[in-house]
Amino acid sequence: MSERRGRSGGRAARQAARAARLADDVPFLTRRLAPFEILAEEGLELIEHNADTILEEIGIEVTDHPTALRLFAGAGADVDGTRVRFPRGLVRSIITATTPSVYTQHARNPARSVEIGGASTVFAPAYGSPFVRDAEGGRRYATIADFRNFVKLAYASPAIHHSGGTVCEPVDEPVTTRHLDMIDAHIRYSDKPFMGSVTAGSRAEDTVEMARIAFGGDLAGRTVITSLINASSPLTWDGTMLAAAEVYARHQQASIFTPFILAGAMAPVTPAAVCTQVLAESMVGIAFSQLVNPGAPAVLGAFVSTIDMQSGAPTFGTPETALVMYAVAALARRLDVPFRTGGHLCASKVADAQAAYESAAVMQPTMLAGTNFVLHAAGWLEGGLTMGYEKFVLDADQLGAYAKIADGLDLSENGQGMSAFRENEPGVHFLGTQHTLENFEAAFWKSSLADANSYEQWAEEGSKDANTRATARWQSMLAQYEQPPLDDAIAAELADYVARRKADLPESEY
Amino acid sequence: MSERRGRSGGRAARQAARAARLADDVPFLTRRLAPFEILAEEGLELIEHNADTILEEIGIEVTDHPTALRLFAGAGADVDGTRVRFPRGLVRSIITATTPSVYTQHARNPARSVEIGGASTVFAPAYGSPFVRDAEGGRRYATIADFRNFVKLAYASPAIHHSGGTVCEPVDEPVTTRHLDMIDAHIRYSDKPFMGSVTAGSRAEDTVEMARIAFGGDLAGRTVITSLINASSPLTWDGTMLAAAEVYARHQQASIFTPFILAGAMAPVTPAAVCTQVLAESMVGIAFSQLVNPGAPAVLGAFVSTIDMQSGAPTFGTPETALVMYAVAALARRLDVPFRTGGHLCASKVADAQAAYESAAVMQPTMLAGTNFVLHAAGWLEGGLTMGYEKFVLDADQLGAYAKIADGLDLSENGQGMSAFRENEPGVHFLGTQHTLENFEAAFWKSSLADANSYEQWAEEGSKDANTRATARWQSMLAQYEQPPLDDAIAAELADYVARRKADLPESEY
């Protein structure tokens, strides 16, 4: 019997080892660990009730988008100028009727397609920084070369599942055509899924057209773009963002409807009130997408941080933010829609202990909350103003650990490891036991950037801190980067589309 | 009605503000947030069953402590030489019969007394490093001057509740008398609770005697010492540690029975097996204390980390460790005994991004698991070989945030903040609303070391990273340190006791 147990343990261990070797290559995480719930049912109901009270009594401003006003009125909302008030329960019923609880975002390499919603978690790079920073060049305006570098780094990072969107603002390209270069870079330098332009309806149309080319001319109803649609909190949806969302919904592409909140400024200072506002605002965004095209994929988003009440400066990694993330994740589960929050956020200007402490204080609850789509999972510095090369690889390294967290505690016979105790005398180390040998490869996540060597060895190797090691890492990743295959005809058609649109569009001021 | 709501909100807000002002001065945290449970009842039962199997089949080695063997045999264990095997359920029944679920560790300043167990969480400095490090002096052997510095820093850190024990090894003092200088420093330079010597029974007796002096000559049955009793994992309790634990238990002083495990070496490589071993080992330690003196306070401890399976180097902040901590915390709750784990642990040699990422990856689960006593909450570097001055203040700063996490989400009327929404139009910031003004002081934890200023301001102030700011912080804390009052007669009696014992004890090699 013990022999049979041994063999069975051995097989399980070999499977675990294979799984571990492959873990870095999975296109997204599948959580077996249940999310951390910080509120009981009645607490969540209270917040839902309050969100409905806001939608009914105060309503939402919808500016510069007559179609949205018409759609909301048609669905039963009370539209008074640009103010839209919703009878209690209306928004929820629109959402739950048709919003998918999970959807597949197809990548041009099918092995990279991701599921967004349910038990899945997808990591994407930071988004929107006008500046970049690296240890040698310091802080400077981002360029399209930087943009392409970060697309390449995300492609080369096994724990990053998604190419992201505006990984940095290529400010050397004209505002009117910048989106073309960004989408082109995502398609050309990566085969992971990506995000689309949201700065105008026409740019969303360009995104869809370029995606169509990348996917061989026909999307065939597939969702291949997930884009970031921000509310103008408090309680306002702006016409520009809604125009982009409308284009995406019409084409069956996904939008993440995200209140962008620094609590104290764009929302009240108390976390429960922040949860209420996030729910009210994001629900209206999702409902809009369903009115445009019932069944279009939509994500409930929550970008939430805080401010320093003395200076007004944005602060990150604060405990209040963590509490909001846990609660809003639970509210999204009750709506049965995918949820986005968090990332490795910080206020720090450099990739130092402050950056890591703040980032971890956002990322840990992001993961434990059961978040489905994690934007800003790597690179974020300085409240999002700067995309850091060193920060990017340090964050990406940390993301690898979350695959093991997502797995939860293995209670299989191999996991219980009773054979190890039976084999080993008290006082004897387990390094040589059969159970250890069988589980050797799968045992323990190992950072690829942390230094666990002795002090003496570390000193001999130059006493390099994490930031210094990170510089070497991103440089070697870029040096070793190999472009994923792209059909020549598709590449040519893409280039032609970009050239044609650039000729059509006026060059704006930079 | 809205006026009444307003007044009521105002009162609640003022109470919240007062609470926030006082939060840094609370002697310990009281968690309102329920712990994160990662295993269902049947998973926990499985681990308990396996632990009982280990205790029954394999047993525990108890070396160099005939009294322990006699006590275990008398309680019904099967003692074969130094191997002790326990009938299923015996150890648990000994523990649950008499071990307090929570106890007060009295401080010589009663306002600093801590509760250990239940919903309380107590933070104590790192323990046991032979080296110290600061940015200017680099890494060097610790001295009694360093020891006193760290006692002073812990005393001056509002989020650190406990003075700890061997905050660093004062290697300039003889081994035989070092404990006298350490206990003297804890009593003299702080009025927070402290830990005792565990390196010999006689040194534990010295600790009790010195505590007796500090408390005015009579402990009157009070618990005033909590000490760290480590198992010699795997499955071995050593006579030296048990001798100290015996002294403490006899005097109604507390011990933390802690397997010290680097999984893969001192335990199997799979997390569930580690949980099983930790439970088996620590239960035997606690049972020993109850056999010595039924009702003596005892804590279930779990020092768990991992190794790099290639090099054998200890690794910290790994996800497997987090999973073990969550599970063992739940097992301790089922035993209804206080629980110790975690801290701000890392392998990093300096207080860089690696140090912070690793430390946060241990400390976050430590807190969410519902840990009662957190040793190593500040200062730890390099796998515990070095106590860092900069690391200490960076960690201590982070600890402040956990008070807000412990509070959970406030769902009071003030917390819901509906008055803020009613007062504020969509699109208008909340900075000036009544609700914000009422909650201004209590709103948002603010790091005292993080820099949230603009890049320009940060650059103007010298582009200081967190480590550089931390140097200035600990230096100014030491410069501003003021010794807490100590009765002259007590101080003299303490000095006399130390002098007398030093004369009695042989000077060992250093």
Closest residue of chain A to B453, computed from CA coordinates: A313
Q: What is the pLDDT at residue A25?
A: 74
Contact of A483 with A180, CB cutoff 8 Å: no
B366/B35 Cα distance (integer angstroms): 10
A441: CB partners within 8 A, 6+ apart: A17, A20, A21
Q: Do B417 and A306 touch (CB under 8 A)?
A: no
Q: Do A444 and B59 touch (CB under 8 A)?
A: no
Residue A14's pLDDT band (boundaries 50, 70, 90)? low
Q: What is the pLDDT at residue A2?
A: 33
Q: What is the pLDDT at residue B25?
A: 74
Q: Tens of pLDDT along chain B (510 residues)?
A: 233 333 444 565 555 555 544 455 799 999 999 999 999 999 999 999 999 999 999 999 999 999 999 999 999 999 999 999 999 999 999 999 999 999 999 999 999 999 999 999 999 999 999 999 999 999 999 999 999 999 999 999 999 999 999 999 999 999 999 999 999 999 999 999 999 999 999 999 999 999 999 999 999 999 999 999 999 999 999 999 999 999 999 999 999 999 999 999 999 999 999 999 999 999 999 999 999 999 999 999 999 999 999 999 999 999 999 999 999 999 999 999 999 999 999 999 999 999 999 999 999 999 999 999 999 999 999 999 999 999 999 999 999 999 999 999 999 999 999 999 999 999 999 999 999 999 988 899 999 999 999 999 999 999 999 999 999 999 999 999 999 999 999 999 999 999 999 999 987 644
Residue given tokens 């920060």 in the structure block: A391
Residue A24's pLDDT band (boundaries 50, 70, 90)? low
Q: What is the pLDDT at residue B442?
A: 84
* Reported ipTM: 0.95
Q: Do B409 and A327 touch (CB under 8 A)?
A: yes
Residue A441's pLDDT band (boundaries 50, 70, 90)? confident
Q: Do B382 and A269 touch (CB under 8 A)?
A: no
Q: Encoding tokens for residue A301?
A: 């988003």
Q: What is the pLDDT at residue B14?
A: 55
Contact of B151 with B474, CB cutoff 8 Å: no
Which of B357, B447, B466 shows the shortest C-beta gap to A360? B357
- Beta-sheet pairing, B386-388 with B131-134: parallel
Which of B401, B433, B439 shows the shortest C-beta gap to A319? B401
pLDDT tens per residue across span A156-175: 999 999 999 999 999 999 99
Percent of residues, chain A, with pLDDT higher than 90: 93
Residue A510's pLDDT band (boundaries 50, 70, 90)? very low
Q: What is the pLDDT at residue B507?
A: 74
3-state secondary structure string, B74-112? HCCCEEECCEEECCCCHHHHHHHHHCCCEEEECCCCHHH
B16/B3 Cα distance (integer angstroms): 20
Which of B61, B270, B352 shows the shortest C-beta gap to A353? B352
Q: Do B430 and A349 touch (CB under 8 A)?
A: no
Residue A113's pLDDT band (boundaries 50, 70, 90)? very high
Q: Which helix (H) or strand (E) holds A226?
A: strand A226-231
* φ, ψ (nearest 5 deg) of residue B267: -155, 165
Question: Among the residues of A215-318, which ranges form H helices?
Answer: 239-250, 271-292
Q: Encoding tokens for residue A303?
A: 């970008």
Query: Is A218's pLDDT higher than 50?
Result: yes
A314/B63 Cα distance (integer angstroms): 57
Q: What is the pLDDT at residue A22?
A: 47
Say which CATH topology domain A96-407 has.
TIM Barrel (3.20.20)
Considering only CB atoms, which chain A residues are within 8 Å of B50?
A: 416, 418
Closest by Cα among B505, B481, B393 to B188: B481
pTM of the model: 0.95
Closest residue of chain A to B469, computed from CA coordinates: A354
Q: Encoding tokens for residue A362?
A: 């956002």
A134 CA: distance to closest CA in chain B (Å):
14
Half-sphere exposure of B179 (CA within 13 A, CB side): 23
Considering only CB atoms, which chain A residues are within 8 Å of B417?
A: 268-270, 272-273, 276
Q: What is the pLDDT at residue B464?
A: 98
Considering only CB atoms, which chain B residues are within 8 Å of A276?
A: 416-418, 421
Q: What is the pLDDT at residue B15?
A: 57
Q: Do A408 and B38 touch (CB under 8 A)?
A: yes
Closest by Cα among A222, A27, A4 to A105: A222
A267/A290 Cα distance (integer angstroms): 26
Considering only CB atoms, which chain B residues are within 8 Å of A34?
A: 38
pLDDT tens per residue across span B405-462: 999 999 999 999 999 999 999 999 999 999 999 998 889 999 999 999 999 999 999 9
Domain boundaries, chain B: 2-30+409-439, 31-401+445-510
A371: CB partners within 8 A, 6+ apart: A121, A325, A329, A339, A340, A341, A342
Query: Is A401's pLDDT higher than 90?
Result: yes
Q: What is the pLDDT at residue A110?
A: 97
Q: What is the pLDDT at residue A248?
A: 98
pLDDT tens per residue across span A313-338: 999 999 999 999 999 999 999 999 99
B40: CB partners within 8 A, 6+ apart: none
Average pLDDT, chain A: 95
Q: Which of A8-17, A133-142, A393-402, B498-507 has the lowest mean pLDDT?
A: A8-17
Considering only CB atoms, which chain B residues are within 8 Å of A325?
A: none
Q: What is the pLDDT at residue A21?
A: 47
Considering only CB atoms, which chain A residues are within 8 Å of B385?
A: 455
pLDDT tens per residue across span A448-491: 999 999 999 999 999 999 999 999 999 999 999 999 999 999 99
B157 CA: distance to closest CA in chain A (Å):
18
Contact of B375 with B127, CB cutoff 8 Å: yes
Q: Which helix (H) or strand (E) holds B114?
A: strand B114-117
Considering only CB atoms, which chain A residues are within 8 Å of B36?
A: 36, 368
A144/A175 Cα distance (integer angstroms): 12
Q: What is the pLDDT at residue A10?
A: 57
Q: Which CATH number fits domain B31-401+445-510: 3.40.50.150, 3.40.50.2020, 3.30.565.10, 3.20.20.480?
A: 3.20.20.480
Pick the residue of B83, B132, B348, B354 with the most A CBs within 10 A to test the interface with A by mutation: B354
Contact of A43 with A268, CB cutoff 8 Å: no
A210: CB partners within 8 A, 6+ apart: A180, A183, A184, A187, A494, A497, A498
